[in-house]
């Protein structure tokens, strides 16, 4: 069973066109407060978690087949070089193949000790960032944009690794800002660090 969770503080209507285009028969959930990011300590989208029949996490959060090839995108044409596009599609296919193998045979499920070791650790700064983000979204929803933005800015300062906090705040400020010049500047500032750390299959 696939469960897709839209981290979408503007609400379901903002995600509806994508969901309807997908014509999916699985759950398409709307998470306006980013509860799933809070519970599972996520930092980006898309991230995936594999959960077995007992309700046990057998693969903690990881990049769901996405790669960093987009960082070499030609921003004028929004296109990738053919080699980068091919590598990106190959990585996505490899990840989807791994998911299918797990469903059929159990392959790629991690032993409990390894799964526990890979769980991302919540710090007190991250916990505070989540609370401030929750408050910021509420304030935005209730017409208190300046206060909300201040809370979300502080959340992003406390948890700079969270792209979901920064990008959601940017989107609430202005649609499109989450993938605008400031986003690309932040991506460039990563240097040698990954935007999408490869899943270790």
Q: Which stretch binds another protein (CB under 8 A): 69-77, 82-90, 165-173, 189-197?
A: 165-173
Among 91, 159, 167, 196, binds another protein (CB under 8 A): 167
Among 71, 138, 145, 186, binds another protein (CB under 8 A): 138
16: contact with another protein by CB under 8 A: yes
Binding string, 78-117, against another protein, x = CB under 8 A? ---------------------x--xx--------x--xx-
Conformational region of residue 24, where left means phi above 0, alpha means psi within -120 to 50, and beta covers everything else: beta
C-beta closer to another protein: residue 1 or 76: 1
Total residues in contact with another protein, by rule CB under 8 A: 77
Helix 163-173, helix 145-158: angle, nearest 10 = 160
162: contact with another protein by CB under 8 A: no
Residue 38 CB, nearest distance to another protein (Å)? 6
59-92 exposure pattern, b = at least 16 Cβ within 10 A, e = fewer:
bbbbbbbbbbbeeeeeeeeeebeeebeeebeebe
161-188 exposure pattern, b = at least 16 Cβ within 10 A, e = fewer:
ebbbbbbbbbbbeeeeebeeeebeeeee
Nearest partner of 175 among 4, 3, 5, 13, judged by Cα: 13
C-beta closer to another protein: residue 69 or 163: 163
Q: What is the Cα Rg of the chain in Å?
A: 18
Among 54, 77, 189, 191, binds another protein (CB under 8 A): 54
**For residues 116-135, which are near another protein according to CB under 8 A?**
116, 119-124, 126-128, 130-132, 134-135
Tell me if residue 31 falls in helix, strand or coil: strand
């Amino acid at each position: 069973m696939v469960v897709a969770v839209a981290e979408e503080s503007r609400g379901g209507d903002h995600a509806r066109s994508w969901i309807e285009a997908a014509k999916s028969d699985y759950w398409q959930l709307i998470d306006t407060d980013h509860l799933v990011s809070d519970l599972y300590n996520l930092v980006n989208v898309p991230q995936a978690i594999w959960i077995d029949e007992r309700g046990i996490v057998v693969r903690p959060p990881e990049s769901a087949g996405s790669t960093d090839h987009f960082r070499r995108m030609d921003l004028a044409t929004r296109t990738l070089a053919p080699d980068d596009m091919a590598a990106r599609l190959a990585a996505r296919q490899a990840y989807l193949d791994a998911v299918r193998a797990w469903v059929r045979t159990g392959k790629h499920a991690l032993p409990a000790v390894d799964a526990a070791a890979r769980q991302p650790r919540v710090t007190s700064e991250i916990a505070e960032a989540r609370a401030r983000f929750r408050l910021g979204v509420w304030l935005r929803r209730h017409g208190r944009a300046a206060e909300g933005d201040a809370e979300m800015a502080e959340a992003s300062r406390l948890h700079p690794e969270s792209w979901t906090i920064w990008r959601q705040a940017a989107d609430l400020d202005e649609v499109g800002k989450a993938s605008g010049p400031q986003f690309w500047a932040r991506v460039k500032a990563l240097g040698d660090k990954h935007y999408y750390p490869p899943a270790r299959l």
